[in-house]
Amino acid sequence: MLPGTKGSMPTTQPPSYQSAIVFGAGSWGTGLASTLHERGLQVQFWGRDEALMSEIRQTRRNSRYLPSQHLPEGITITSDLASLKPADMLLLVVPSKGIRDTAAAIAATGLQASAKVVVSCAKGIELRSGKRMSEILAESLPGPQHAVLTGPNHAEEVAQRLATAAVVACADEETARAVQSCFTLPWFRSYTSDDVAGVEWAGAMKNPYAIAAGIALGLKLGDNAIAALVTRALAEMVRMIAVMGGRPETCYGLAGVGDLIATCYSEHSRNHRVGKLLGEGMSLADIIASTRMVAEGVPNTASLYEAAQARDVRAPLLAEIYAILHEGKPAREAMRDLLSRDPRSETDQTR
């Protein structure tokens, strides 16, 4: 039986951890809180917006970000960090730009002292420092093991319990398997990896390329152009990840091409939606003002472009996305410039 609706658990083993705190009340945080509760963990769900968390506590739904997801009564919902009780697993599910401040607030509570693992569920690279999310968390919350949960995972589909696969990356194999056990359900399958750098860079890099795919759709460039764009995006990811200490083969797994495909083509992708509106002629300022959702690709394009420039990594597609988002270059002109570049071999992976 394919995972997705009904059936017995794929494992008779209970999860390795008994409790978890999910920090971040966006759509993905909401989906993960419900998923972990279904797996049998004691779940606390924290968000910084007191009014929103009060509403969720009363209605058991996050009307702002994921109204289709019902949060069972067993999930503790709060905006008060001081009220949180120690837990085995801490999951950071906040926008990448807020990861450092949130980690500092958690550190002040001392919750990390009793935790066994801190899991980063944010996708991004910090501007200026160039650090990955798990690196920031390891600095801010020392002591526990640190892991990453990533992959082609749209919260809207997780809320419907549609078949989902993810990757748990951690330098410690035992910890990776322990986190994996918490994300093993009839409809949720997870794999392990020890390539933490590779999966985090892949997760961050797919966002700008999803904006580019959306732009191509908004400009009505056709399926051929979008397929070519996504393929060349993967080539840029391989070059960058190799330079940043990850393994190129990670790009061909769920954290790489899997997440890239989902984000570049899905109607659920915020980055894809931003790109489509840009291609249709809407200004970036108006797009940002019109939604509460965070499109990680906008700030992360600057971080990634800066990293590529500093290491002399050839990334023409990323450069054009940066020019559109941060230098005001017209989208149609950027796409034309990409097509008019000098011809070269497809297999040329030189930096």
The count of domains in the chain is: 2
Please report which helix (H) or strand (E) contains residue 165, including its range.
Answer: strand 164-170
Residue 11, pLDDT score: 53
* Residue 3 domain-assigned (yes or no): no
Active-site positions read: 206
Q: pLDDT at position 7, please?
A: 43
Q: Are residues 238 and 316 in the same domain?
A: yes
User: Is residue 227 located within the same domain as residue 279?
Assistant: yes
Are 266 and 160 contained in the same domain?
no
pLDDT of residue 12: 56
For residue 8, what pLDDT is reported? 45
294 known ligand binder: yes
Is 26 one of the annotated binding-site residues? yes
Specify whether 130 is located in the same domain as 228. no
- Judgement on whether residues 216 and 324 belong to the same structural domain of the protein: yes
Are residue 54 and residue 169 in the same domain, yes or no? yes
| Whether the predicted model's global pTM rises above the 0.85 cut | yes
Task: Give the CATH number, domain containing residue 293.
Answer: 1.10.1040.10
206 is in an annotated binding site: yes
50 and 180, same domain (yes or no) = yes
What's the domain range around 214?
198-339
Nearest to 215 by CA among 229, 233, 197: 229
Same structural domain for residues 209 and 190?
no
Residue 242 marked ligand-binding: no
Of 161, 194, 227, the residue at which a domain comes to its end is: 194
Is 24 annotated among the ligand-binding residues? yes
What CA–CA distance (Å, rounded) separates 21 from 17? 12
Residues 269, 221 share a domain: yes
d(CA 312, CA 110): 41
Tell me the pLDDT of the chain (351 aa) as tens digits: 344 444 444 555 899 999 999 999 999 999 999 999 999 999 999 999 999 999 999 999 999 999 999 999 999 999 999 999 999 999 999 999 999 999 999 999 999 999 999 999 999 999 889 999 999 999 999 999 999 999 999 999 999 999 999 999 999 999 999 999 999 999 999 999 999 999 999 999 999 999 999 999 999 999 999 999 999 999 999 999 999 999 999 999 999 999 999 999 998 999 999 999 999 999 999 998 887 766 788 889 999 999 999 999 999 999 999 999 999 999 999 999 998 888 888 888 777
Residues in contact with 30: Cβ distance below 8 Å, sequence separation at least 6, in sequence order: 45, 62, 65, 66, 69, 71, 155, 159
